[in-house]
Amino acid sequence: STLQLADRIAVLHEGRVLDVGTHDELTERCPRYRLLLAGPEGETESAEEEPEARAAPVVDAAISHWDALNSLAPSPQMLARLEKLRPATDTPAVDDATARAPEPRFTLRKLLRPVLIALIAGLALEALDALAGLALPALVRGGIDNGIAARAFSAVVIVSIAGLGIVLADWLVTRSETMVVGRNGERLLYTLRVKIFAHLQRLGLDFYERELTGRIMTRMTTDVDALSSFLQTGLVSMVSSVLSFFGVMAALLIINVRLGLTVLTIIPPLVVATLVFRTKSSRAYEAARERVAVVNADLAENVAGLRVTQAYRREGHNRAAFAGLSHAYLRARLRSQRLIALYFPFIQTLSVIAGALVLVVAAGQVRTGLLTAGALIAYLLYIDMFFAPVQQMSQVFDGYQQAVVGLRRITQLLAVPTSTPLARHPRRAGRLDGRIELRDVSFRYEGASRDALRDINLTVKPGETVALVGQTGAGKSTLVKLVARFYDATSGAVLIDGLDVRDYDLASYRHRLGVVPQEPYLFSGTVADAIAYGRPGVSPAEVEAAARAVGAHEMITTLPGGYSHQVGERGRSLSAGQRQLIALARAQLVDPAILLLDEATSALDLASEAAVTRATARLTTRRTTLVVAHRLTTAARADRIVVVDNGRIVESGSHEELLTADGTYASLWHAFTGESELVA
């Protein structure tokens, strides 16, 4: 009826324009146009009339498919190089089950507990490294006083050899420490990434409906990277700085108490400046972390909606909005950098002042012989070492603050409870009969002012196909989500084979479901990978059998590479009908006891709908099926139709029974058919 309103119609097939004309002209002369108008019945007749014509391109495509596979075979040179590679046998010594377990009270202490011994070993090695640094000025003092001043060359040689030995030993210590700290740091980060990803898999749909994708990605990327950088390098530098600071302070007091007390007069302004810097920079880092999350979220949203942006010419507006968010992040980062620009030079100034005070006080002691030249030089070296750890800690503090903020946000994420928690003693779902029963079920979305479903009572017998119809927002999809346990009922119970769905082991229960949404999501990979998503590791023969069972095999063989065709992100390289057929094959492969279809044909043309309808009919055979039907022609083919209106079930029966009852469904049906007749 919509086509009849057009002045001219262009018929496209496989990227070519087949014909152009009015509705009447094309109906008379174009078989492809008549096929598109005919829908399921017409395509079935066409398939029966021209079997040879339809088979020929399938055979040719299959031959091309095997030729493409042969062209992908590795060359002998590549195989020879692979043979020379060492086997990758190293694996992180992490208990994956423990890492994946929920941990709402997650702390850094719990994360570090498995590597506590290695951490202590690393700290011991770091202490040896700090002692090696403290020993070198003492050797310089001995070389000057006992060698150069006394004109004893042998003493200089002995001191030099001792210094070389300390440097070589320190190199070995540093190497061992780097390996220990680096290896265990990677173990911790592996554990953390697995823990975060496992928790994201557990969270219910309500979390993803209220949380921006960019914020979630920031937890896994920016926050984890900040913690990674600190654990790998910052922690070692911080421990080294603390040990060196107190070690140098002790050395200064041991060599000369008066000079040591002179240097300690610098400590109060140093402590005050450090505390002020830490307080102000902490707030700046927190603000920067929040703003970079907003930037990431806006970027993810703009990339996902780029087609709509270009269609409505919003590029300039979006650029300006993104620039504003980025500028806010820039201001937060500049605020922290200004604090660094003030703090670091101030520490350097204190170091110079301390050196000047030591020279003033030491001058008289050198003249009276209370202080030797070697001791003075060693003292000046120790002063540089005294403030160097402070400067180093200040530099590390940037990474420390980011790591603290990142850890806090990760802890907050892991503390978010799932809206579909596991039962205390979950029951594994074996082979289900597929009986569905909803008893007095009500459900309200978080933050909503009214229930999406109210007092729902519905029983679906094993093997029965039930269509859910009603106006947009009536609650049809919500009902299906409760059966899939994407949400839990606010009140009442959803029972599968007589057992509350909340008592099943969630993973094993969902393995018994086949879910085909209106817009199927296909992950990147090959067509075979997409079909085998629910049962990874199955043989190619099983994948092909699933595709043949729903009638998708012929379509797949026409793709470049056939089952090896790359799907691309979200399946964008495929048409809507092709994605839907692959999604049906994916559901077929898991052999579900219960099939949930959220109107798999509403966005398709009639020819594609015909293919998907036939595939759906094969898939629903002998399976309990719930179909969210926006097209009433789809609902008419169901065993039973349930009419949902404003969150309640108002009618239930077959197509003929509901038409006879002349209720809500009859009104919907007459409006649908009456509109078609009016336009015609």
Instruction: Indicate whether 66 pLDDT > 50.
Output: no
CB 200 within 8 A of CB 224: no
CB atoms within 10 A of CB 237: 18
H-run or E-run covering 21: strand 16-21
Q: Which residue has the tokens 């002691």?
A: 365
Contacts of residues 338-344 at CB distance under 8 Å and 24 or more positions apart, as own/partner, are: 339/277, 339/280, 339/281, 339/284, 340/281, 340/394, 340/398, 342/277, 343/273, 343/274, 343/277, 343/394, 344/391, 344/394, 344/395
For residue range 269-326, list pLDDT tens digits in order. 888 887 888 778 778 877 887 788 788 888 878 887 887 888 888 888 889 999 999 9
How high is the pLDDT of residue 237? 76
Using CA atoms, how far apart are residues 680 and 671, in angstroms rounded to an integer? 14
**Cα 305 to Cα 659: distance, rounded to the nearest angstrom:** 42
| Confidence band, pLDDT 50/70/90 cuts, at residue 65 | very low
- Under 8 Å between Cβ of 429 and 243: no
pTM reported for the whole predicted model: 0.66
Q: Strand 465-469 relative to strand 624-628: parallel, antiparallel, unpaired? A: parallel
Residue 19: per-residue pLDDT: 82
Decide if pLDDT at 677 tops 80: no
Q: What pLDDT score was predicted for residue 531?
A: 92
- Structural contact between residues 250 and 263, judged by C-beta atoms closer than 8 angstroms: no
- Give me the pLDDT at residue 441, please: 94
Provide mean pLDDT across the span 419-434. 87
Determine what percent of the chain is predicted with pLDDT higher than 90. Answer: 14
What are the two backbone dihedrals, phi and then psi, of residue 134, each rounded to the nearest 5 degrees?
Answer: -70, -25
Checking if the pLDDT of 68 tops 50, the result is no
> Which tokens go with 473?
């927002």
**What's the farthest any 2 CA atoms get from each other in the chain?**
120
Q: Is the pLDDT of residue 3 over 80?
A: no
Which of 397-406, 444-453, 545-554, 658-667 has the least mean pLDDT?
397-406
48 Rama class: left (phi>0) / alpha (psi -120 to 50) / beta = alpha
Question: pLDDT per residue over 231-247, tens digit each?
Answer: 777 777 777 778 888 88
Residue 660: helix, strand or coil by DSSP? helix
pLDDT at 497: 93
Question: What is the mean pLDDT of the segment spanning 72-91?
Answer: 70
Rounded Cα distance, 50 and 55, in Å: 9
pLDDT at 483: 94
For 356-372, the pLDDT digits (tens) are 887 888 777 777 777 77
Q: Helix, strand, coil proportions of the chain in percent (round to 5)?
A: 65, 10, 25
- Mean pLDDT in residue range 37-55: 43
pLDDT at 72: 47
Q: Residue 326 has what pLDDT? A: 92
Residues 387-398: what's their mean pLDDT? 72
Q: Mean of the pLDDT values across residues 426-434? A: 88
Least confident of 43-52, 75-84, 295-304: 43-52
CB 277 within 8 A of CB 394: yes
Q: Which residues pair with 3 in a beta bridge?
A: none
Measured distance CA(278)–CA(285) in Å, rounded: 10
Q: Give the mean model confidence (pLDDT) for residues 168-187.
A: 83
Q: Does 648 have pLDDT greater than 90?
A: yes
Residue 396 has pLDDT above 90, yes or no: no
State the Cα–Cα distance between residues 509 and 136, nearest whole angstrom. 67
Q: What is the pLDDT of residue 69?
A: 43
Rounded-to-integer distance, Cα 487 and Cα 489, Å: 7
Exposed / middle / buried, residue 465 (Cβ in 10 Å: 0-12, 13-18, 19+): buried
Task: Tell me how far CA of residue 675 lies from CA of 2, 325, 451, 636, in angstroms.
Answer: 11, 48, 32, 18
**Cα 460 to Cα 438: distance, rounded to the nearest angstrom:** 9
SS (H, E, C) 381-423: HHHHHHHHHHHHHHHHHHHHHHHHHHHHHHHHHHCCCCCCCCC
State the pLDDT at residue 176.
86
DSSP state letter for 492: E
pLDDT tens digits for range 590-635: 888 998 988 765 555 566 666 667 777 777 777 899 998 877 877 8
- Return the amino acid letter for 299: L
* Total count of residues recorded for the chain: 680
Structure tokens at 254: 């041991």
What is the reported pLDDT for 52? 38
pLDDT at position 653: 92
Contact 405, 285 (CB under 8 A): yes
Q: How many whole angstroms separate alpha carbon 297 and alpha carbon 310?
A: 19
pLDDT band of residue 642 (cuts 50, 70, 90) is very high
Beta bridge pairs of residue 17:
12
Burial class (CB in 10 A: 0-12, 13-18, 19+), 117: exposed
Q: Which helix (H) or strand (E) holds 618?
A: helix 606-619
Kindly tell me if the per-residue pLDDT of 537 is higher than 90: no
Residue 435 reports pLDDT greater than 90: yes
Q: Lowest-confidence range among 127-141, 474-488, 646-660?
A: 127-141
Among 49-58, 188-197, 434-443, 599-608, the range of highest mean pLDDT: 434-443
